[in-house]
Structure 1
Amino acid sequence: MEHSPAYRDARRHVERKIGFAIHLAVYLLVNTGLALVNVLATPDRIWAVWPLFGWGIGLLFHGIAVFLHAPGAAWKERMIENELKKQKKQ
């Protein structure tokens, strides 16, 4: 069964949102575990903030790509459609 381009785009965006949600869940679980290990094993030395910070930067960029990229993609599509209309008029 052939789906429309709009359906394929919507499906792709939903899959990206699900991917981000999984990434966020893994981030929270792993970093909670690291924080517990840190507090229980070496409470005098706090090291769990470093993976939290580093991975957090990656998670931030993942979120930006998922949630802020889509409006840009729609804007790009509108520009392409406008160019096609201009070419048809010539």
Structure 2
Amino acid sequence: METTSQQNDSYNRAKAQVEKLKSFYTHLAVYLTFCAFFIFLNFKSGGFIWAIFPIVGWGLGIFGHAVDTFKWNPFFGKDWEAQKIKEIMERERQLF
């Protein structure tokens, strides 16, 4: 049976995650709006395709925000940390 403290902790974690999601989706909507605006301005001004720079730069920021929001780590697999802990503990057990 969960205690009130555990329920509060769970609620607070869920609320924080919902806030992160809301922040990410707002950021994404603003990004897409400005991308359209940059492309429109670039189309109207003609010449060099300068809009790619803010779109790519901001896109990298969106990617980082998504990684943080969705707890996705492209460099370490889902069980990487647990596997490394197990390996290190096994190595130490063999040494001692």
| Letter of the 1:68 counterpart | K
**1:35 corresponds to 2:52:** no
2:48 aligns to what SS in structure 1?
A: coil
Match of 1:56 among 55, 59, 62: 59
| Letter of the 2:63 counterpart | L
Work out which structure has the larger RCO, using CA pairs closer than 8 Å and 6 or more positions apart in sequence. 1
Gap regions ≥5 residues in structure 2:
73-77, 82-96
Number of aligned pairs? 69
CA distance in structure 1 between the aligned counterparts of 2:19 and 2:71, rounded to whole angstroms: 15
TM-score normalised over the length of structure 1: 0.70
Deviation (angstroms), 1:35? 0.6
Kindly report structure 1 stretches of 4+ aligned residues shifted beyond 3 Å: none
Report the counterpart of residue 71 of structure 2 in structure 1. 68
TM-score normalised over the length of structure 2: 0.66
Deviation (angstroms), 1:44? 1.9
Decide which moves more: 24-33 or 2-11. Answer: 2-11
| Letter of the 1:54 counterpart | G
Between structures 1 and 2, the one with greater helix share: 1
Identity %, equivalent residues? 32
Gap regions ≥5 residues in structure 1:
76-90
| Letter of the 1:14 counterpart | V
Q: Alpha carbon RMSD of aligned pairs, Å?
A: 2.0
